[in-house]
Amino acid sequence: MTHEYVIGLRGVVLGAVPDAGTPAGPSPTAVAWAADRMLAVGTDDEVRGISRGDSTFLDLAGCAVMPLPSDVVAAERLVRAAVARGRPFDPVRLLADAGLLAADATIEVGAPADLAFWTADPATVPASDAATVGVIAVLRAGHFTDGDEHVGPFARLPGS
């Protein structure tokens, strides 16, 4: 049995671990999963390249992708408070230090496809816009928890 590949492009991937042996390069902007496992993380072109021709492509439109916190509501409150303070911070580290993410929570090939999609990278949102920061989609075991499991809140992009 083969599973449909879902490929999210044009995002900001936080908490990503590069493949072993891959030199450091541009920040990852794309993720791919099938069933309940991560297939790829990297640049749009790198991740687009794993498509078998029948993949679903999603436009993340600048949303931030992070490992799924254990309590999404508490994570949103904590991150909004950090944004409101207006000081630099690492959202993944903040949530891990608060016990809302496992210390080893990462987005990497083979990891569970459990992700939180945020309105934007919280570390780049101005303090005046703290109230706009939040999780807009949750992926558990490779399926969006609300809405169409293939699209969630994201627009489909034409296949490559």
Measured distance CA(83)–CA(79) in Å, rounded: 6
C-alpha distance across the termini of the chain, in Å: 23
The pLDDT value given to residue 126: 97
For residues 115-121, average pLDDT: 95
- Report yes or no: 113 and 139 within 8 Å, Cβ to Cβ: yes
Point out which residues pair with 57 in neighbouring strands.
7, 157
Q: What is the mean pLDDT of residues 126-145?
A: 93
Q: Where residue 1 falls among pLDDT bands split at 50, 70, 90?
A: very low
Q: Model pTM?
A: 0.90
Tokens read off for 18: 């590069």
Residue for token digits 């570390």?
123
How far is it, in rounded angstroms, from Cα 52 to Cα 44? 15
| Mean pLDDT of all residues belonging to the chain | 89
pLDDT band at 90 (very low <50, low <70, confident <90, very high): very high
**Which residue intervals of 86-155 are DSSP H helices?**
91-97
Bridge-based pairing of strands 12-13 and 64-67 is: parallel
pLDDT score recorded for residue 147: 59
